[in-house]
Structure 1
Amino acid sequence: MPRQLSRRALLAGLGGTALTACAGNPAPTTDSATDTAAAIPPADGPRVITLDTAELDSAMTLGITPVGAARAPADAGLPDYWPASRLAEITHVGEIGSPDGAVIRHLKPELILGNQTRDGAHFETLRRIAPTVLTPTTGHPWKANFQQHAQALGRQAAAEAVVGAYQRHAAAVAQQLASAGLSGHRISIVRFVANAPIRLYARQNFLATLLDDVRLARPDQQNAAQFAVEIPADQIARADGDHLFYAVYGDPDAAGATATLASPGWQALGAVRAHRAFPVNDRLWFQGIGYTGANAVLDELQRLLGA
């Protein structure tokens, strides 16, 4: 299980601000993950296996708890913005990108959902177990992928309600941000990933679509038509924005987060000096790709921006 950031590192990352808003980087409560979403009741549906977090969000949002799901390699469990009672019903079927065919076969699925980015190489094996639907990729086209998942699950009417609820929620958040004078503020999104460069998230990813939906802008360094810009720690000045949200995937030391958050370069960022740099839950913000995850991120975004 990845080691969590220490209190000292968290304080350093916040630039010494009070911990009332984001101490300990808590996962959102069940209510915060669902109270702005369409209320889709549990439904009878196929015995489905989900091979990535977007597919998991789609099935759960549509009222169908998978019989099995793959988890992120650096995490001990599935995204924790879902109620523990529902997650307890799901059998782990290996890591994302490395599904365990024997476990999947034992669960006798009627449908397998995934994407070609992670599991294109496993398609022939998977389709021999059960009908398998792989979207071309994940992340940025999450709204179109959700429609494919809904069709495969036979939940198109429920999907329509989910989309409508999200659109109303995003419009309300955008209005609140505008009323607070935050429209056009530049939002920096930073992810520390174990054994990899620091990622500045650009415009072709899940989070970028949410910021577009609520009419928030991006810093010049992140205003690019690509997934992310990778930088070494000594270029952390490129991560600045009016507000900054960051998360850690994997061990904080291996991700460079511990050292970077304590560095003079991080402390010199305008967002940090202004107490506008916030740690967020990686499993929600970066892995919660779907409508329930999106609603929860918008709730947290609005709260942290003070709108």
Structure 2
Amino acid sequence: MTVPFRNRRGLVAGSLAVTAALALSACGSTEHGSASGSTEDKNGTHTVSTANGNVEVPVDPKRVVVLDTGELDSALSLGIRPVGATHSASEDGFPSYLPASGTKGIKEVGEIANPNMEAVAALKPDLILTSKVRDGDRYEQLSEIAPTVMTEATGSAWKENFQLHADALGKKDEAKKVIAKYDAHVAEVTEAIGGKEKAAATDVNFIRFVEGAEIRIYGKQNYIGSILADLGMGRPAITDKAKDGFSYDVSPEKIDLADADVIFTSTYGDPGKAGTTKTMNSGLWKGLTASKNDKVFKVDDRLWIAGIGYTAADKILDEFQSSLTK
């Protein structure tokens, strides 16, 4: 059984300012359950099965707030413009790969994994989309603002997350079209780069330079890894050593372990502080197969790593094809 959707508008005497702000907004409540999918009731709501159990949400939400880039990509891919969204801790504004016409007018409500709760509440949302990995410890507080739909995690589960977002937004039919378009795009790119056999015979690595951390050789259990898998690309043996399938981290002195036919790179933070410049000027780097054959391609970190959605994936596929067919 799912707890009925209801509005809470009473002000709590003596409460903090943020709590008072929360009380102004409509909210949904949840109950843990095993039911999957969603069911609609007579009150214009439907039940969505989430990482936190069943949540009752409006059939046609009008004021949606999203708290990560994946949720923002999902909403825009489905034709929904959120009223509010968080931004990356390292940059202001929303990812540049998203169309300006889509993000225009969206209110910034703090950083990813650190939303400004008063700003969220002030928008009076009727639905909030996020994940447990970002905002799990804020679930109860967010639920006091509006029905909150959380996925378990982000990254490699992006396709499953998109389906849940579509369910919560009442856009399941639109989601089918988005997915079909992506599948057709994958087939087109695979053919353009030489077909399935050539793709499988071409080992591709993705390397991310991160300010304040070691260099990451991305494994197979992440967003970009799933796109490479859809294309049927080969992956070097080092990717099988990635911790939890996510990444195998190395120092600049061991960058030769990243050897591959093709390498895509991105940088999070300052290239100097992240070690990008020093590493890519080293003898070890210049000795990599991809480097010797001019098959190293620098790409936008906010698209290839932080995009996490179908709109990002389509742009990545375009760039991937352009790089491998030069």
TM-score normalised by the chain length of structure 2: 0.78
Aligned pairs for 1:156-235 (under 5 A) are 156-179=172-195, 182-184=198-200, 185-224=202-241, 226-235=245-254
What letter matches 1:281 in structure 2? D
Q: Which structure shows the higher strand fraction?
A: 2
Q: Which runs of 5+ in 2 are unaligned?
A: 1-59
Aligned-pair CA distance for 1:181: 6.8
Deviations 1:247-292 (A, max 9, x none): 0111222211122122222122111111000100111111111111
Contact 2:61 2:127 in 1 (8 A): no
Contact 2:196 2:232 in 1 (8 A): no
Cα separation, 2, equivalents of 1:179 and 1:230: 31
More off after superposition, 186-195 vs 84-93: 84-93
Aligned-pair CA distance for 1:45: 4.3
Q: What SS is found at the alignment partner of 1:253?
A: helix
Contact 1:174 1:213 in 2 (8 A): no
What letter matches 2:216 in structure 1? R
Aligned pairs for 1:7-86 (under 5 A) are 45-86=61-102
Q: 1 or 2 for the larger relative contact order (CA 8 Å, sep ≥6)? A: 1
Aligned pairs for 1:211-290 (under 5 A) are 211-224=228-241, 226-290=245-309
Point out the structure with max Rg over C-alpha. 2
Q: Aligned residues: percent identity?
A: 43
Cα separation, 2, equivalents of 1:97 and 1:152: 21
Q: RMSD across aligned C-alpha pairs, in angstroms? A: 1.5
CA distance change for structure 1 residues 179 and 144 in 2, over 3 Å: closer, same or farther?
closer
Deviations 1:10-64 (A, max 9, x none): xxxxxxxxxxxxxxxxxxxxxxxxxxxxxxxxxx742111111110110000000
Deviations 1:114-155 (A, max 9, x none): 111111111111111111111000010111110000000000
Aligned pairs for 1:70-149 (under 5 A) are 70-149=86-165
Contact 1:46 1:153 in 2 (8 A): no
Cα separation, 2, equivalents of 1:213 and 1:177: 14
What letter matches 2:236 in structure 1? P
Cα separation, 2, equivalents of 1:219 and 1:46: 46
TM-score normalised by the chain length of structure 1: 0.83
Paired positions, count: 264
Contact 1:187 1:241 in 2 (8 A): yes
Q: What SS is found at the alignment partner of 1:178?
A: coil
Aligned-pair CA distance for 1:86: 2.3
Q: Which runs of 5+ in 1 are unaligned?
A: 1-43
